[in-house]
Each structure stands twice: as C-alpha cells, then as structure tokens.
Amino acid sequence: MNQVNQRQYKVGVLGATGTVGQRFISLLAEHPFFVIHALGASSRSAGKPYSKAVNWKQTRAIPAVVREMVVQECVPEHFKDCVVVFSGLDADVAGDIEHAFRVADLAVFSNAKNYRRDPHVPLIVPLVNTSHFSIIPQQQRLHAPPLRKGFIVTNANCSTTAVVVPLGALERAFGPIESCMITTMQAISGAGYPGVPSLDIVDNVVPYIPGEEEKIEWETLKILGGLAHADDDDSGSGLLAFDMHAAQPLRISASCTRVPVVEGHTECVSVRFARRPPPSPQQVREALQAYTSEAYSIGCPSAPRHTVFVHEEPDRPQPRLDRDYQAGAGVSVGRVRQCRVLDIKFVVLANNVAIGAATSSIINAEYAVLKGIVSATAA
Ligand SMILES: NC(=O)c1ccc[n+]([C@@H]2O[C@H](COP(=O)([O-])OP(=O)(O)OC[C@H]3O[C@@H](n4cnc5c(N)ncnc54)[C@H](OP(=O)(O)O)[C@@H]3O)[C@@H](O)[C@H]2O)c1
C-alpha cells in the first residue's frame, strides 16, 4: 500500500469542463497518487487553456495545475500516457468516445449511462459492490481483439447511488430486501449545466425526470445482485454473469422529482425485508452506522470513514447542511422508523456530484490501483 501511495499515476479527464468534470478536477488536484495529465472536452473547448474553456462553477478557485493546461479533443492519442481516464462526458457522445479509449487499451472510469447495461461491464458503487471488479478479465478477454489493459468501469446514476448504499448495508446485515418504494427530491445540478431553466424550477417541483425511474429500478438490481458463473444454468459457457438479484427477486418502485436545490439528492425510502420478523428501527440504525465499505478497509484514500452517517435529529438530513459531510463522499440517513405498509422507512441524502458521480469514479480507480487491476504503466 505504501508503495502505491509513493507512486504518481497520470490520469486524464474527459468532459473536464462539465459539472462532473469540474468536480473531478477539484478532487484530483489534491489527490495523493493521481496526477492530472490530460483534459478533454468538445471541439468548442479543444485548443484553449482550461481556464478559458471552462465556465467554472465550483466554490474554490480553478486549481493552478490545470489553469494553463490545454484542453484536447477526446481522442485516445492525447491520453496515451494516462494510466486511468475518467469520463464525465455527455451521454450523447460518451458511447463512441469511451469505446475508442477502451480499444486503445486505456482504463476508463465512466459516469455516463451508455455501458451500464453491458453484460461484461461492471456497474460499481464503490461503497457497495467492489466485488464486481472480478468481471474485468472477462471483459478484456472477450473483446475483439482481446485487451491487455483497457476496460470500462461505470458508476451508477446519482439517484441510484444514494439509495443502494443503505440498501446494500441492510442486505449485508439482515439478508435480502424483497421490495422497496423510493421517492426522490433531486437537485438541479444533477441535470448538468445550465440544467433546468430557472423559470421551471424556482418556486416549483417538477414531477418528472426522463429515464430516471427506470435507471433506479434497473441499476439497483445489477448493483445489489450477484455475479456468478453462468454454468450454474447448464449453458456450459463458464462466463460470469450478473444475476440481477435473482436469488431473491427484488421489486422496486421509484418516483423521481426535481426540486429547487442546487446540490444533494434527498430520497424517501421504504423497504420490506424477506426475513420475518423484520429488524426493528433501532437494529436498522445500528446496522447502517456500523457498515464499512471494502474500499475504505483496503485504504482507498477517497473512501469515507463513515459510509453511512445516521442522524438522530428528526429534521435531518438536509441538503444544505449535510451534502458536504466527509467532502460529500458518504451518505446521510435519518428518520429511520417503522413503515405501516412495508417494514422500515427512512430518508437518505447523497451529494449527486460527489459520491453520486466524480467521487465514486475516483474511489473505483483507487480500488483498481490498490488491487493491481490497472497497470502501473500506461497503454
Ligand atoms: N450532474 C450529475 O449530478 C451527474 C451525476 C451522475 C452522472 N452524471 C453523468 O455524467 C455525465 C456528465 O454530466 P454533467 O452533468 O457533468 O454534464 P455537463 O455539465 O453537460 O458536461 C458535459 C461535458 O461533456 C462535454 N462534451 C459535450 N459534447 C461533447 C463532444 N461532442 N465531444 C467531447 N466532449 C463533449 C462537454 O464539453 P464542452 O464544455 O466543451 O461542451 C462537457 O465537458 C453525463 O453522462 C451525466 O449523465 C451526472
């Protein structure tokens, strides 16, 4: 571990000028072993120094290390010295660009939705399912031609990330969850910049976010489900496959709303456990508070010490007060109580641009470095 921490790993950021890209820059500028080496964005930004290309919206100043760095077109040639490439690309272009980077044998950690459903690409919320990294050798082997170093790892949609952390903690403590109802109150920054027009969101709640409910309902199953050899089903292929929580079917119903909050997604969640009798609210609080991620245990520097912070006050968590706790890397839960319809209900808050996006990618990449999944030298 010390050896890793003493090394420096060159990294690139695609979509470096966007909402998620700016968060990548802020976090990576102070990283103990990742060093920003290349920045990519659209042809509108390419060729300009970063400080001229970006419409900087972070509270801290643009880090000195990138101010004069020239933004490149998103082509692998400009990133060939990078050991890791982070992507905060718009989904309209992420598919082709990330594919080209993987073909060029680069390790891509993506925030976009394009490859989340690929059967050989893991969808990893690093506080929950780092075990899914075990599919990477298969992804590389089945690629034509086979890859030596390149792969794609995705992290989840920001609203999915918030809910799978407590759900994963509860399944670890009490066994499978059978059904789950989720209502989200999502921040404006989740839609990128400039996002929802102010005249649509100020003094308002928008009860529809295209594609969001389906993402929560589907992604949660991939993340919380197992990854096992398909020869269990007589296909004889011997390939690993995501089981989508098949061992205990999990029914999820999500309703998504956009609210006039700048950063931080709040979600009301009710769950029913398979086990009878279900755990009490106090047992749930204790299990959430005690939960530790493997990413933290193995020493990922950006993994939060407290994966889930459990509030006792009845009026917490709140986005303005709690979104920056642990630099936005953990999640905050409150109002754990009995549900009269299912078993237990609670409120969860996660920072959509931190653990909901850039921080997740960075912890995933830290994990991959510490576990030797990415090579120490670039493609
Ligand atoms: N915002 C969140 O909370 C959040 C959370 C989780 C996941 N995500 C996902 O993360 C990704 C980025 O989201 P965002 O909110 O940061 O979006 P954004 O603010 O709109 O930024 C998009 C980025 O993509 C670049 N881009 C656009 N067209 C391009 C092209 N043709 N070639 C190369 N680069 C291009 C933009 O560069 P220019 O500045 O040059 O146009 C910009 O850097 C999306 O896939 C989104 O779904 C977002």
Q: Which of 340, 168, 337, 162 is nearest to 256 (CA)?
A: 162
Ligand 1, atom 2, lies closest to the CA of 190
Confidence (pTM) = 0.97
pLDDT at 216: 98
pLDDT at 7: 82
Confidence bin at 118 (pLDDT 50/70/90): very high
Whether the CB-CB separation of 126 and 155 falls below 8 Å is answered with yes
Whether the CB-CB separation of 176 and 248 falls below 8 Å is answered with yes
**Topology (CATH level 3) of domain 2-157+358-370:** Rossmann fold (3.40.50)
Ligand 1, atom 17, lies closest to the CA of 192
Whether the CB-CB separation of 37 and 368 falls below 8 Å is answered with no
Q: Pocket around ligand 1: residues whose beta carbon is below 6 Å from it?
A: 15-21, 41-42, 44-45, 74, 88-91, 93-94, 111-112, 157-158, 189-190, 192-193, 352-353, 356-357
What are the structure tokens assigned to 122, written together?
Answer: 């893991």
99 is catalytic: no
- 284 contact partners, CB below 8 Å, separation of at least 6: 170, 174, 336, 344, 346
Strands (E), the chain: 9-14, 34-41, 72-73, 84-87, 107-110, 151-154, 177-186, 227-229, 240-242, 251-258, 265-273, 308-310, 331-338, 344-350
Q: Which of 330, 327, 326 is nearest to 349 (CA)?
A: 330
Confidence bin at 354 (pLDDT 50/70/90): very high
Measured distance CA(48)–CA(55) in Å, rounded: 13
Q: How far is CA 223 from CA 58, 117, 187, 292, in A?
A: 30, 11, 23, 17
Ligand 1, atom 35, lies closest to the CA of 42
pLDDT at 238: 85
Confidence bin at 16 (pLDDT 50/70/90): very high
Measured distance CA(155)–CA(161) in Å, rounded: 8
> pLDDT tens digits for 259-277?
999 999 999 999 999 999 9
- 81 CA from centroid of ligand 1 (Å): 23
Confidence bin at 4 (pLDDT 50/70/90): low
- Check if CATH label 3.30.360.10 holds for domain 158-351: yes
Q: Which atom of ligand 1 is least distant from the CA of 17?
A: 43
Is 130 in a helix, a strand, or coil? helix
- 42 CA from centroid of ligand 1 (Å): 10
Catalytic residue among 158, 180, 256, 300: 158
Question: Span 11-34, mean pLDDT?
Answer: 97
**The residue type at 30:** E
pLDDT at 258 over 70: yes
Question: Span 30-46, mean pLDDT?
Answer: 97
Catalytic residue among 78, 120, 265, 311: 265
Q: Which atom of ligand 1 is least distant from the CA of 16?
A: 43
CA 359 to chain centre: 7
> pLDDT tens digits for 120-157?
999 999 999 999 999 999 999 999 999 999 999 999 99
- 234 contact partners, CB below 8 Å, separation of at least 6: none
Ligand 1, atom 20, lies closest to the CA of 192
Ligand 1, atom 21, lies closest to the CA of 18
Q: Which atom of ligand 1 is least distant from the CA of 91?
A: 45
Question: Span 174-199, mean pLDDT?
Answer: 96
339 is catalytic: no
- 44 CA from centroid of ligand 1 (Å): 13
pLDDT at 232 over 60: no
**What are the helix (H) ranges across the chain?**
2-6, 19-28, 50-53, 64-67, 91-103, 136-142, 158-174, 198-201, 212-224, 281-290, 294-297, 319-322, 359-370
Mutate to test the pocket of ligand 1, among 13, 14, 20 (most ligand atoms within 8 A of CB): 20
Ranges of each domain in the chain: 2-157+358-370, 158-351
Whether the CB-CB separation of 82 and 38 falls below 8 Å is answered with yes
pLDDT at 233 over 90: no
Ligand 1, atom 28, lies closest to the CA of 42
- 194 CA from centroid of ligand 1 (Å): 11
Q: What is the mean pLDDT of the chain?
A: 96
Ligand 1, atom 14, lies closest to the CA of 192
- 352 CA from centroid of ligand 1 (Å): 14
- 69 CA from centroid of ligand 1 (Å): 19
- 62 CA from centroid of ligand 1 (Å): 18
